A = this chain, B = another copy of it.
Amino acid sequence: MLTVNELALESDTPAHVVRYYLRIGLIQPAAQQENGYRLFTSNDAARLRFIRMAKHLGFTLNEIKQITQHAELGESPCDDVRKIIQQRIHENRAKIEEMMKLQERMEQALEQWDLMPDGIPDGNSVCHLIESVEGSEGHCHTET
């Protein structure tokens, strides 16, 4: 039987993360000592390693919970797994594009600011650098 710390070592997971997974019910202790310490088996270490794999593939902890619960009931989670990752691929692509746009905005701004001096704020303006950036009024949707 392993303690939290030993389980953490065995599964290559930080101990505070193991405790977090316990808190949200993603894993359960196999047994409990009289003093309240939680005890685990090597099977729990394997489960934790599975969780790390799934996270590495982009699954959220909630999805992993669903998957393991399905598996406990003997139902195949594979169909859901395929669907989730397809969805995640779409979402991730969109996020990456968004972040690349942001990257461009930031780099353009920094370049533009190179030619501008610092300013003292007055009642009208908070920071003229930020306010000078183009496209702040109608960047996404133009109203007729």
A interface, CB within 8 angstroms of B: 47, 49-50, 52-54, 56-59, 67-68, 70-71, 74-79, 81-82, 85-86, 88-89, 92-93, 95-96, 99-100, 102-103, 105-107, 109-110, 113, 118-121, 126-131, 133, 136-137, 139
Contact = CB atoms under 8 A, between A and B. Distances in A.
Number of copies: 2
Nearest to A54: B130
A84 B119 CA distance: 17
Given A52-B136, A99-B95, A119-B78, A109 B71 contact: no
A79 to B, nearest CB: 6
Given A110-B86, A126-B47, A133-B53, A105 B67 contact: no
A99 B93 CA distance: 9
A57 B133 contact: yes
B82 A110 contact: yes
B118 A78 contact: yes
